[in-house]
Structure 1
Amino acid sequence: MSKYVEELRERVEKRLAELLQIRTPELLWDSMAYSVKAGGKRLRPVLHLMAAELKGSSEENLDIACAIEMIHTYSLIHDDLPALDNDTLRRGWATNHVVFGEAQAILAGDGLLNYAYEVMLQNAARFPENSFAHLRAISLVAAAAGVGGMIAGQVQDVHLEGEPIGFEELSYIHRHKTGDMITGALLSGLELHDPTEEERRALCLYGENVGLVFQIVDDVLDITAGAELGKTVGKDAKSGKTTYPTLFGIEKSMEIAAEKTEQAVAALEIFSGPVVYELTALAEQMLHRHA
């Protein structure tokens, strides 16, 4: 991780800690904060801030970045529940329902999702001169996380689990379950800074490809990684889930991921400045990550 990315990550961590200070009822805030504080790469909020800094300062974007991480964390809490993946380990920590019970885990996820929109709307009110851009950014986040985005992908992932599916169905699941929140984080970051349509399209292409690379590598690591992954490994094979490695094998899957990385980097050519270098390096990291 570069010094630049680490500085962005530290800003996110500090603001998340402020936003998630324990209040009443303590059980709710404690359970919400537990899963957020479990860590993770903070990929989506960092990408949001980097997209903003392609065009200017990201100070106005910080609370949106934190809200995106709350939405992502809520999705992980619910994904780990017994009714879905029934997982006991996430980011190296016991999952929320293991610590707090299934009912409270559901409520913690609900709390993070709703609080995320409170945070974004309160942030928009602080910048009335840019309020329409904030509303567009919030709308992009909502669409990425919602019934046409992440939830749509999750529904198909659960509905088709254990069934043999083809490339088209697998692409749909990956594009929505994983890719939409990555693309939404980028586009919403850019939206506060008067982007052109060409810039939107370029960053969308970058996000779509990086999102797919992230998921392909995740599928491969589920087969090849050990405890360093921070979550239960081998679950895809045990559940009979179709993945890139089951369709193409590990070697071909990584070749596809490398091609998608090249396409992501090429999409950045219309931008200039040091952030382009950082986004390029981050795309390469997604390809070569081991956890």
Structure 2
Amino acid sequence: MRREREWVEAALLRALDRLLPELPAALAAPVRLGVTTGGKRLRPILFVSAYRAARGPERPVDQLYDLAAPLELIHAYSLIHDDLPCMDDAPLRRGQPTPHAVYGEAEAVLAGATLIPAAGRHLWWVAGEAGVEPGGARELLRLLARAAGGAGMVGGQALDLDAEGRALDRMALDDLHRRKTGALLTAALEMGGVAAGASADVRGALVEYGREIGLAFQIADDVLDATQTAETLGKRPSDSELDKSTYVRLLGVAGARTEARSRVESAIRALDRSHVGSPELRALARYVVERGH
């Protein structure tokens, strides 16, 4: 996915070129750090893959990634806030100091808060420039806002904090991670389908695929957290150090790996049932559980 990540990075730089000039320097610096510290860039890549799987109209590649970039802006905000001392208190992410460790806690809070409306505004801009009809643009905004808010990521983070030190059952753990991790992944796929003008059947298949790989992604993360070093993962502290419920605690390492693979197969079956032929989405589903960090 190296080339796809390069397309995402270029789209993020274009987004920052629009955003940063209007910000005070003390705010622009932590925003830039939060957005440009690398990562898998999976959400925009899923958006573009879903667009192609739904056979959307031919568009320039940079235009597709511009439409997808707001997903990564939301993801960046969530990581900035997730790493705060009042949340996971993480000084490192992807092997680099986190924004609050460099610029201070208050500045990091403001940087994350800046990215939430910035993502929506950027999406509205690029959708207009790409000729997305207003109804479609509004639906893209609705999906992004729902995934980012209390019904999605914020609600998942609240459940995560509330669960520290407690053992969650499987239903509660699935609900937490369908919100915290899965909501934005699923939104990326559904938004790609909406931008492509997908039928209800194809859109539904993309949502089901997203729900399954969202859980597979988190289960794989829990396995990595339990089996890899902080140096390999480029972050600390681990979920076990934070006394969080994880799929490894619930199922064991072998059981969690089996469950992650099962979720991937369920995701692929969802595509097959709706005749969504997409080698890209199949490969991405397998990448979710086979990645090394």
Shift of 1:8: 2.8
Per the normalisation by structure 2, the TM-score is 0.92
Which residue of the partner structure matches residue 8 of structure 2?
A: 12
Q: Distance in 2 between matches of 1:210 and 1:256?
A: 11
Matched, 1:81 2:84: yes
Question: Aligned to 2:182, which of 179, 182, 199?
Answer: 179
Q: Distance in 2 between matches of 1:129 and 1:110?
A: 27
Which residue of the partner structure matches residue 50 of structure 2?
A: 51
Question: Aligned to 1:268, which of 268, 271, 276?
Answer: 271
The CA RMSD measured in Å over matched residues stands at 1.6
- Aligned residues of 2:44 and 2:71 also touching (Cα < 8 A): yes
Which residue of the partner structure matches residue 280 of structure 2?
A: 278
Q: Distance in 2 between matches of 1:257 and 1:43?
A: 17
Which residue of the partner structure matches residue 141 of structure 1?
A: 144
Report the number of matched residues. 284
Secondary structure of the residue aligned to 2:226 is helix
Which is worse superposed, 182-191 or 236-245?
236-245
Q: Distance in 1 between matches of 2:270 and 2:120?
A: 30
Question: Aligned to 2:195, which of 176, 192, 197?
Answer: 192
Which residue of the partner structure matches residue 253 of structure 1?
A: 256
Which is worse superposed, 58-67 or 203-212?
58-67
Secondary structure of the residue aligned to 1:163 is coil
Matched, 1:108 2:111: yes
Which residue of the partner structure matches residue 40 of structure 2?
A: 41
Q: Which runs of 5+ in 1 are unaligned?
A: none
Which residue of the partner structure matches residue 235 of structure 2?
A: 231
Shift of 1:116: 0.6
Secondary structure of the residue aligned to 1:204 is helix
- Aligned residues of 2:132 and 2:195 also touching (Cα < 8 A): no
Sequence identity, in percent?
39
Q: Distance in 2 between matches of 1:202 and 1:272?
A: 8
* Paired amino acid for 1:118: R
Q: Distance in 1 between matches of 2:110 and 2:59?
A: 31
Q: Return closer, same or farther for 1:76/1:129 CA change in 2, 3 Å cut-off.
A: closer
Q: Return closer, same or farther for 1:34/1:167 CA change in 2, 3 Å cut-off.
A: same
Q: Which runs of 5+ in 2 are unaligned?
A: none
* Paired amino acid for 1:42: R
Per the normalisation by structure 1, the TM-score is 0.93
Q: Distance in 2 between matches of 1:102 and 1:157?
A: 20
Shift of 1:64: 3.0
- Aligned residues of 1:130 and 1:192 also touching (Cα < 8 A): no
Q: Distance in 2 between matches of 1:121 and 1:185?
A: 16
After superposition, the C-alpha distances for 1:234-271 in whole angstroms (9 at most, x for unaligned) are: x2222221111101101011111111111111222234
Q: Distance in 2 between matches of 1:81 and 1:240?
A: 17
Shift of 1:19: 1.9
* Paired amino acid for 1:18: R
Which residue of the partner structure matches residue 209 of structure 1?
A: 212
- Aligned residues of 1:8 and 1:49 also touching (Cα < 8 A): no
Secondary structure of the residue aligned to 2:90 is coil
* Paired amino acid for 1:280: R
After superposition, the C-alpha distances for 1:36-65 in whole angstroms (9 at most, x for unaligned) are: 110000000110111111212354543331
